[in-house]
Amino acid sequence: MDSIKKGLLEMVVLMMCILLVSSNAFAARPLTTDDAGTVEKGKFQVEGGFDFTRQDNHDKEYFPSLTLTYGLFERMDVGIGSGYLFLHPVEGKKVNGLSDAPLKVKYRFFDQKDWIPSFAVSGTLITPTASKSKGLGSGRADFNLNTIFAWNLSKKLQLYTNFGYTFIGEHRVKNEFNYSAAGQFVLTDQWALVGEIFGVNNFNGHKRDDPTSGLLGIQHCLISDKLILDAGVEIGMNKAAPDFRFTVGVTFFFKP
């Protein structure tokens, strides 16, 4: 398994290098990195996904999720997410239940001009809807503030970076700094390749406890930009990150 993991990790790094030097789609699932775009005013965006994660200790997690985002103003959207988490530990009994529910607001301050990137900021309140007694959540609310930069380098290539800070509500748990870089390369009118590297610094002084991962994925556009299928594989770069994660999903847009 270690050789397979190493090979996949090398593919992630290689594809990120290709994306970063290659010569308009939008960042979305399966990326964790957010894009600077907002949902068009008066429209809804629905994202459905299913994740399978295996931790470094071989605990398994299954996570179907749903996110609804609405374009409130020309430069602002609001969203709410929900999911159901199934935990299958190697030791102990299996548990399942609702996950924490994020409530998100994103505002796009300005669009790209020449080489000055698009810029947006999002705020996400992670409400404690997951069961603390089952070990699915902390029982406390967290808040993440994220800064988002996006560059359209050509008709085929976009780059994104995120820098954020999470205020952790749980007692005696340090706040976290998150960072990521992603690329999206349009292969054809219907297919796009995406890749990213992302990590978290939890400020506890132990670098081995700071998870870092890489992801490779694809997007397939079925009906213009209104219905998009996606799939991706995430590989942990250290023991603090999940061993691997597979994700598949669908995104569609509609206006009542």
The answer to whether 137 and 116 have CB atoms below 8 angstroms apart is no
pLDDT digits (tens, 9 = 90+) for 188-215: 989 999 999 999 998 876 667 899 999 9
Confidence of residue 19 (pLDDT cuts 50, 70, 90): very low
How confident is the model over 158-166, as a mean pLDDT? Answer: 97
Peptide bond before 64: cis, by omega within 30 degrees of 0? no
d(CA 166, CA 76): 21
- Provide the pLDDT confidence category of residue 2 given band limits of 50, 70 and 90: low
What average pLDDT does the structure give for the chain?
Answer: 89
pLDDT at residue 192, as a whole number: 95
Say yes or no to pLDDT of 117 above 70: yes
Say which residues have a Cβ less than 8 Å from residue 96's Cβ, sequence separation at least 6. Answer: 84, 85, 86, 87, 134
pLDDT attached to residue 226: 84
Domain boundaries, position 139: 2-254
d(CA 192, CA 97): 34
Q: pLDDT tens, 65-115?
A: 999 999 999 999 999 999 999 999 999 999 999 999 999 999 999 999 988
Average pLDDT score over residue span 37-59: 96
Q: What is the pLDDT of residue 186?
A: 94
The two tokens of residue 106 are 């994103």
C-alpha torsion angle, residues 76, 71, 195, 9 (rounded to 10): 90
Position 38: which residue type? Answer: T
CA gap 219, 229 in Å, rounded: 6
Residue showing tokens 């990150």:
241
Residue 117 has what DSSP assignment? Answer: P
Distances (CA, A) of 58 to 54, 72, 97, 214: 6, 42, 20, 19
- What pLDDT is attached to residue 256? 87
Residue 245 has a pLDDT of 98
User: Number of folded domains in the chain?
Assistant: 1
Q: Which of 237, 247, 171 is nearest to 200 (CA)?
A: 237
What would the mean pLDDT of 166-170 be, rounded to a whole number? 96
pLDDT given at position 203: 85
- The arithmetic mean of pLDDT across residues 4-17, rounded, is 47
- Give the CATH number for residue 146: 2.40.160.40
pLDDT in tens, 134-153: 999 999 999 999 999 999 99
